[in-house]
Amino acid sequence: MIRRAVAPGRVNLIGDHTDHTGGLVLPMAIDRATTVELRVSGEPVLTLVSEDEDAAAALDLPVGDPAAVRPAWARYVAGVAAELGTEQGGNGTVSTTVPIGAGLSSSAALLVAVALALGADPGDPRSLARLCQRAEQRASGVPCGIMDPLTSLAGRSGHALLIDTSTAEVDPVELPPDVDVVVVHSGAARRLEGSPYAERRARCVAAAELLGPLRELDEGAADGIDDPVVRAAARHLIGENRRVREAASALRQGDVAAVGALMDESHASLRDDLGVSTPLLDAIVTDLGNRPGVLGARLTGAGFGGCAVALCRPGAIDDGWVVRPSAGAAVTEL
């Protein structure tokens, strides 16, 4: 039997670094995806060959420590197999149209596609997203959140997803027809391993420990924190949760200008209060914001390189990737 699993990447419209503390995010699955085709066998070996990698992932099952596996991309495969407790593998291929290392969740797309190809149940996206999150943490050592795998699993055509990351509840929000979402790559490959991601997460967690649930607070609540770095992180998180809520309701009302203004504000907060932008991303966001027909722009995802996302009138940006809100991951048996 062959299982063919297809899992999309994602772009986050607004709500970054909020998933460290159970906050709100508003991403969408995109029309670029990773495909894993696996001929299932009863053997205790899993071999996957990727179009984009020189060396195959060849794993003895069950997997012990995913972080010890080589080559590096195979750690993600190993993380999923370890979390699923896979004992019987097979042979297969991996191909993708998600740009790798661009901050569009190529790793989450790989994790989700591997999990489905190995027989994971797609009917429970929340549990499966948590499993993929654990798999990525074990594979990479990066304390990433639930946003990316859950978006890949729960995507809805034509919709962004308002996600409460404290419960993993997903509320689809339709995108108005008269706007495009465009991604512009800074050209800087973004790897979270070795980046300040974990340190920024720690700032966010420290802010939540001092103030409690941040999404219920007013921005002024951050003023009481002594440590200026944690105070700034708290300001970002309180504001970003509010912006996600406001952006979701503005989208529902078709007020795309308001959504764009919130995206601009989000970028400034990620740059000034959390310090996760780069000069290149700042320059791209400023340039996009000056173009006619662009409603708003911001860095998207973790930052430290990767992509900017813009909301614009169709045709306003001709040097980026127009991405369409897409359905979530699916698996078929051939």
Catalytic residues: 148
CB of 99 to ligand GLA, least distance (A): 14
Dihedral of CA 9/194/72/76: which sign? negative
17 is an interface residue for ligand GLA by CB under 6 A:
yes
Report the alpha-carbon distance of residue 81 to residue 35 in Å, rounded. Answer: 17
**Which range binds ligand GLA by CB under 6 A, 13-21, 69-77, 218-226, 238-246?**
13-21
According to CB under 6 A, which residues from 111 to 150 bind ligand GLA? 144-145, 147-148
Phi, psi (deg, nearest 5) at residue 263? -65, -40
Residue closest to ligand GLA when measured from CB atoms = 145
24 is a site residue for ligand GLA (CB under 6 A): no
- Residue among 254, 319, 256 nearest 287 (CA): 319
19 vs 180 by CB, closer to ligand GLA? 19
301 binds ligand GLA (CB under 6 A): yes
Please report whether residue 302 would count as binding ligand GLA according to CB under 6 A: yes
Task: Show the site string, 148-167: x = touches ligand GLA by CB under 6 A, - = not.
Answer: x-------------------
Q: Taking the alpha carbons of 30, 180, 235, 241 in that order, is the dihedral positive or negative?
A: negative
Q: How far is the CB of 19 from ligand GLA (least distance, A)?
A: 5
Q: Which runs of consecutive H residues, i.e. helices, occur in the chain?
A: 74-84, 106-117, 125-140, 147-154, 197-211, 228-252, 256-269, 279-289
Q: For tokens 């495969």, what's the residue?
A: 77
Please, what is the minimum distance in Å from the beta carbon of residue 303 to ligand GLA?
7
Distance CA 298, CA 18 (A): 15
Q: Are strands 57-60 and 330-333 parallel, antiparallel or unpaired?
A: unpaired
Contact between 240 and ligand GLA by CB under 6 A: the answer reads no
CB 15 → ligand GLA: shortest distance, Å?
A: 7
Distance of alpha carbon 150 from alpha carbon 33, whole angstroms? 14
Please, which residues have CB within 8 angstroms of residue 199's CB and are 6 or more apart in sequence?
none
Number of residues that bind ligand GLA (CB under 6 A): 9
CB 158, min distance to ligand GLA, A: 23
Counting contacts by CB under 6 A, is residue 19 touching ligand GLA?
A: yes
Interface residues toward ligand GLA, by CB under 6 A: 16-17, 19, 144-145, 147-148, 301-302
